[in-house]
Each structure stands twice: as C-alpha cells, then as structure tokens.
Amino acid sequence: MSPAPEPVAQVSVEQVDHPSHYHAASGIEVIDAISAWGLGFCLGNVVKYCARAGHKDPERALEDLRKARWYLSREILSRESEERERAAR
C-alpha cells in the first residue's frame, strides 16, 4: 500500500488572481498590460519578468532580468528569421 499523499498547501485566490509581484502600486496588473498591448508570449514574458524583478524574490532579481533578456533574444531571432524569409521570396 502506498503512503497517503501529502496535503496540498492552500493558496488564496489573491495569490493566484492578483499576486503583488505582478502589479505596481498603481494597481496596473502586468497581465492586463500584456493583453491590452497584444504582446504575445515572448514579449509578454519580457514585460512580466521585468515587472517582477526584485518584487517576487529580491534575491532573484538578476535571474528575472536574465529571463527577460532570454525571451527578448528569442523574439528578435524569430523576427529576424521571418524578415529573411520575406526577403528570400
């Protein structure tokens, strides 16, 4: 017989729907800005990681900025590839 699973920690709706590390004191949530600006996945992640850098975990701010840079580089490479494909037609 396998052991009983460990209880799942309760997460408040506030932590899921409105985490403090994803919106500024202005009350503008990052997800709303990403959606309003139509940024898509990569650029949305750039904004997300920049916005939370130093807020979710101050000791991992540099890691968040590196993630933002990674997603920005991926977006640039994708657009450069699309540009080359258009030029080749």
CB-side neighbour CA atoms (13 Å) of 70: 9
Q: Is the pLDDT of residue 50 over 70?
A: yes
For residue 38, the SS3 value is coil
pLDDT at 13 > cutoff 70 = no
User: Domain extents for the chain?
Assistant: 13-88
**Structure tokens that stand for 38 in this block:** 């139509």
Q: Is the pTM of this model over 0.75?
A: no
Q: What is the pLDDT of residues 23-32, one digit of tens each?
A: 656 788 889 9
